């Protein structure tokens, strides 16, 4: 009776460990949703780096993705200009002295003060960006400064939310 009880306990513990491990692997494949960092129009802003697990033995640029949602507006003291653009770079962090890898570039448009769309414009690296299956991903973004913007054109965090994914 005691041996049967110990066997049942060990099966339950193994099952729980397996479930917990699977959850960790799945959650590590993306960064989760985050607010874009605050910035200054005309300057690059850099987001935090997130380790994203990919499905390949070596992290491939083709599997590294940037998603955005909930675009908002620039503050009302900015010039209302639909010719304004935003550039977003998806990058992979490398240890010093190596340069960080530029994986993809995304370009976006504004409709007046409202961030309208952000779309993929170029894949720079589709092959390996790291020697293991995890890619340390982050974004850099820059909103154009246009005539009529304030002298110090500060952009609050949360212009958009983003999620970095390693498939």
Give the 3-state secondary structure of the chain. Answer: CHHHHHHHHHHHHHHHHHHHHHHHHHHCCECCCEECCCEECCCCEECCCEEEECCCCCCEHHHEEEEEECCCECCCCCCCCCCCEEEEEEEECCCCCCCCEEEEEEEEEEECCEEEEEEEEEECCCCECCCCCEEEEEEEEEECCCCCCCCCCEECCCCCEEEEEEC
Of 104 and 132, more confident: 104
Residue 114 has pLDDT above 60, yes or no: yes
At residue 99, the pLDDT reads 83
Percent of the chain with pLDDT over 90: 71
Q: What is the model's pLDDT at position 125?
A: 96
Question: How far apart are alpha carbons 15 and 116 in whole angstroms?
Answer: 46
* pLDDT given at position 65: 96
Q: 117: which strand partners? A: 109
All structural domains of the chain with their residue ranges: 31-166
CATH architecture of 31-166: Sandwich (2.60)
Nearest to 87 by CA among 120, 50, 57: 120
pLDDT at 2: 57
pLDDT tens string 29-38 = 889 999 999 9
pTM, rounded to two decimals:
0.81
Percent of the chain residues topping a pLDDT of 70: 83
- pLDDT at residue 3, as a whole number: 56
pLDDT digits (tens, 9 = 90+) for 8-27: 554 443 334 333 333 333 33
Q: Over the stretch 43-89, which tens digit does the pLDDT of each residue have? A: 999 999 999 988 889 999 999 999 999 999 999 999 999 999 999 99
Instruction: Check pLDDT > 80 for residue 122.
Output: yes
Q: Take residue 133 and report the two structure tokens written for it.
A: 């299956």
Q: What pLDDT is attached to residue 147?
A: 96
Mean pLDDT in residue range 151-158? 96
Q: What pLDDT does residue 110 have?
A: 98
Provide the Cα torsion 53, 100, 157, 147; round to 10°.
-140
């Amino acid at each position: 009776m005691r041996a049967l009880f110990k066997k049942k306990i060990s099966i339950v513990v193994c099952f729980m460990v397996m479930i917990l491990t699977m959850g960790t692997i799945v959650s590590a494949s993306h960064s989760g949703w985050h607010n874009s960092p605050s910035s200054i129009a005309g300057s690059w802003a850099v987001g935090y780096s997130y380790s994203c697990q990919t499905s390949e033995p070596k992290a491939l640029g083709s599997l590294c993705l940037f998603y955005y949602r909930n675009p908002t507006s620039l503050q009302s003291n900015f010039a209302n200009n639909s010719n304004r653009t935003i550039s977003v770079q998806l990058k992979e962090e490398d240890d010093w002295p190596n340069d960080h890898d530029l994986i993809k570039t995304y370009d976006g448009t504004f409709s007046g003060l409202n961030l309208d769309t952000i779309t993929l414009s170029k894949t720079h690296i589709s092959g390996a960006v790291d020697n293991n299956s995890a890619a340390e991903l982050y974004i850099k973004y820059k909103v154009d400064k246009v005539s009529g913007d304030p002298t110090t054109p500060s952009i609050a965090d949360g212009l958009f939310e983003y999620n970095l994914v390693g498939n």
